[in-house]
């Protein structure tokens, strides 16, 4: 048996079609990174970009690309089935605030599959609308049709940040105390499925991420803590499902911290995605920020 360069298997001269993977893409650069990684591996990529969320340009990377509405689950199922896709990754942020805007049902016009999936959450209110609850419902709706979501990091495991101090500057003693203080609280917020990020200054909680997302949490912290110098702690949930909503930071996270006056970013090693790592670290060094990746909040090192 021989593996060819285009990811096909040749057995007795009979070729097998290249592997196909589907992407359901939201906002941010994460879908671009995974799509490029899959293409380098010789995988055919079929992508649905969520309207109002996915960024332009993905169609230039993928073998096939279509835009899709936020609440068009039935159409998404039909698209993946039409292309023979049973393996899908969910990537990028969906701005959940869109689900709490006036006239949201008219604006997004959910199809029947979406109504069936989310009626217990938004219509009958028998179930809650926490992130994990909604995402599990979505994943199960696809699984019932033979389409299974897997962890996107399986396609590019190097994106999971390694442990250590990543920048030239190490946190001060006071900032290490803020990291330790904020870590356990952030973990508890994750356990309750409220959010993954928390902002701390002098062992006081300045802001907690909720439905608005990390960027808005940091921006709000800057408005509340005008003196600056605060620490952002971002962790995985204690029972993090790696198929979706994995903590992700990148250039925009750093840019928001710089604008708001933040000084330290602490993330969880091995369970946080760091996009564009060289650019992020260079940006942090140029602006005097410290970025650290930990497995436990009590671990401290000197910067290399």
Predicted local confidence at residue 123, as pLDDT: 84
Rounded distance between C-alpha atoms, residue 129 and residue 248, angstroms: 22
- The per-residue pLDDT for 107 is 66
Q: How far apart are CA 240 and CA 101, in angstroms?
A: 28
Residue 108 is predicted with a pLDDT of 66
User: What pLDDT shows up at residue 42?
Assistant: 96
Residue 123 has a CB neighbour count (10 Å cut-off) of 10
State the pLDDT at residue 296.
77
CA 212 to the chain's CA centroid: 14
pLDDT digits (tens, 9 = 90+) for 267-293: 999 999 999 999 999 999 999 999 999
Query: Using CA atoms in the order 128, 129, 130, 136, what is the torsion angle rounded to 10 degrees?
Result: 90
Domain 2-154 is of which CATH architecture? 3-Layer(aba) Sandwich (3.40)
Q: Which uninterrupted H or E stretch holds 1?
A: none
Q: Which residues of the chain have pLDDT under 50?
A: 1-6, 8-13, 303-304
Fold of the domain spanning 160-294 = Cytidine Deaminase; domain 2 (3.40.140)
Largest CA distance in the chain: 70
Angle, helices 131-143 vs 73-82, to 10°: value is 40
Distance CA 115, CA 74 (A): 10
Residues ≥6 apart with Cβ < 8 Å to 125: none
Q: What is the DSSP string of 47-91?
A: EEEETTTSPTTGGGTSSEEEEE-TT-HHHHHHHHHHTT--EEEEE
* Spatial separation of the C-alpha atoms in residues 161 and 149, rounded to whole Å: 22
For residue 15, what are the CA distances in angstroms to 10, 63, 84, 294? 5, 20, 17, 46
Q: Quick one: CA dihedral 212, 215, 218, 219, positive or negative?
A: negative
- Spatial contact of 110 and 171, defined as CB atoms under 8 Å apart: no
Q: To the nearest 10°, the Cα dihedral for 170, 232, 254, 135?
A: 130
pLDDT tens for 93-150 read: 887 776 666 766 656 688 999 999 999 988 898 999 888 999 999 999 999 999 999 9
Give pTM, 2 decimals. Answer: 0.86
At a CB cut-off of 8 Å and minimum separation 6, what does 43 contact?
A: 7, 18, 19, 20, 21, 155
- What residue spans define the domains of the chain? 2-154, 160-294
Residue carrying the six token digits 């991420």: 209
Rounded CA separation 214/201 (Å): 17
**pLDDT at residue 6, as a whole number:** 46
């Amino acid at each position: 048996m021989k593996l060819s360069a285009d990811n096909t298997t040749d057995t007795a001269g009979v070729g097998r079609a290249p592997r196909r993977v589907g992407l359901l893409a939201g906002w941010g650069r994460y879908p671009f990174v995974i799509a490029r990684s899959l293409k380098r591996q010789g995988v055919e990529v079929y992508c649905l970009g969520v309207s109002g969320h996915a960024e332009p340009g993905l169609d230039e990377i993928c073998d096939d690309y279509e835009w899709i509405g936020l609440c068009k689950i039935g159409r998404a199922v039909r698209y993946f089935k039409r292309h023979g896709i049973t393996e899908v990754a969910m990537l990028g942020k969906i701005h959940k605030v869109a689900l709490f805007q006036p006239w949201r049902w008219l604006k997004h016009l959910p199809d029947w599959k979406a109504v069936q999936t989310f009626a217990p959450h938004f219509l009958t209110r028998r179930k809650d609308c926490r992130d994990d609850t909604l995402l599990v419902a979505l994943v199960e709706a696809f699984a019932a049709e033979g389409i299974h979501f897997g962890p996107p990091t399986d396609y590019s495991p190097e994106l999971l940040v390694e442990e250590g101090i990543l920048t030239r500057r190490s946190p001060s003693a006071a900032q290490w105390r803020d990291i330790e203080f904020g870590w356990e609280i952030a973990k508890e917020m994750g356990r309750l499925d409220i959010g993954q990020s928390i902002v701390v200054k002098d062992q006081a909680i300045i802001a907690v991420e909720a439905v608005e997302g990390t960027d808005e949490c940091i921006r709000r912290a800057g408005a509340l803590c005008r003196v600056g110098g605060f620490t952002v702690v971002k962790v995985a949930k204690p029972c993090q499902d790696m198929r979706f909503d994995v903590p992700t930071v990148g250039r925009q996270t750093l840019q928001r911290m710089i604008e708001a006056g933040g000084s330290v970013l602490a993330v969880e090693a091995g369970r946080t995605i760091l996009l564009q790592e060289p650019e992020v670290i260079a940006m942090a060094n140029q602006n005097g920020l410290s970025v650290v990746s930990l497995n436990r909040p009590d671990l401290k090192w000197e910067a290399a």
